[in-house]
Amino acid sequence: MKIFKESNIFWIILVFLLIPTYWLLSPLINSDTITGWGVDPYFCTFVMDKVSGQFALGLSPFQSKFWDIGLFYPAIRTLAYSDPFILQGFLVFLLKTIFSVNLFTSANIVFALFFLLNFFCAFLLFYEISKNKNASIISSWLWAFSLHHLSQSSHFQNTSSFTIPLALYFTFKIFSNSKFIYKLGLALSFFLLACSNLYYFVFTEIAVGFTILFQLIFTKTFQMRKTILLRSTFSIMLAVLFILPILYRYFESAKIYPEIENSRGSIADQMDFSA
């Protein structure tokens, strides 16, 4: 994090980019309305409220009803209905518990927080790749306030994409650094993805996999290839350990929602995603 101490130019550009953009595009933080269009934001808020209620008795599985959280199980060829909202619901739970704010205010704060996290995590990735602070700031701003995020602002699970650049950032870090914190960071990134958006989880798995593969191909020495492979394997095994409880609950939901299989013709499949 020493990059933030090198020059005040980072903070100057950050203020000029983030403050006006945030003022124009983020929701008004209030207790009466939810950001976005149509009924989707209210449905998302309803789901987050239900999820947050599962943490009411405590964070331990023996105290809370965490394992009763209903995950939407997809049809055979699609990831539709696959948004667990665990991360979003937990943040709403924290805001309601610690600051005693109501549901709508909590949801709006979480929404705004995701845009700022999208910016910050994208900056970490772009700076790790380019080592150019100014270019990284501009790129991060374009990512955080992209048309995709704005058009998906009605869907809280899709605005929480900060874990995508975060996972890629830690992937690049483990190539050149042996510290355990980076391996743990990659594993936690996948855990957060599994807790918020399984679309992003699957796509990020693919992106990280290709990143590791290309790094192995273009690394010249056998010893370095071996090091990268061992570090990557350890991080992946750690990630699997973290996400197994989430995925177990996810597939168990197939027994709860068998009727979703019958709706396969009306929802997106692999051909739709590749179009």
Average of per-residue pLDDT across 5-14: 57
2 in a structural domain: no
**In terms of Cα–Cα distance, which of 242, 2, 13, 250 is closest to 119?**
13
Residue 155's domain comprises 9-274
Is 3 within the bounds of a domain? no
Token pair recorded at residue 247 = 């995925």
List C-alpha distances in Å: 43 to 39, 48, 56, 157, 248.
6, 9, 20, 12, 25
Answer whether residue 26 is part of any domain. yes
Give the count of beta carbons closer than 10 Å to the beta carbon of residue 5: 8
- pLDDT (0 to 100) of residue 35: 65
* CA dihedral for 41, 43, 49, 55, sign (positive or negative): negative
pTM (2 d.p.): 0.77
Q: Is residue 192 part of a domain?
A: yes
Domain count, the chain: 1
Query: Per residue in 187-216, pLDDT tens?
Result: 999 999 988 888 888 889 999 999 999 988
Mean of the pLDDT values across residues 134-160? 83
Residue 64, pLDDT score? 47
Structure tokens at 215: 């790094």
Q: What pLDDT score does 80 carry?
A: 44
Q: How far apart are CA 264 and CA 246, in angstroms?
A: 23
In a domain, 23, yes or no: yes
What single-letter amino acid sits at 158? N
Please check whether residue 1 lies inside any domain of the structure: no
Q: Which residue has the tokens 């705004």?
A: 112
Crossing angle of the two packed helices 103-130 and 133-144, in degrees rounded to 10: 140
List, for residues 64-79, the tens digit of each pLDDT value.
Answer: 455 555 554 444 444 4
Residue 185 resides in a domain: yes
CA distances from 179 to 13, 124, 127, 182, 197 (A): 31, 17, 19, 6, 28
Residue 14 lies in a domain: yes
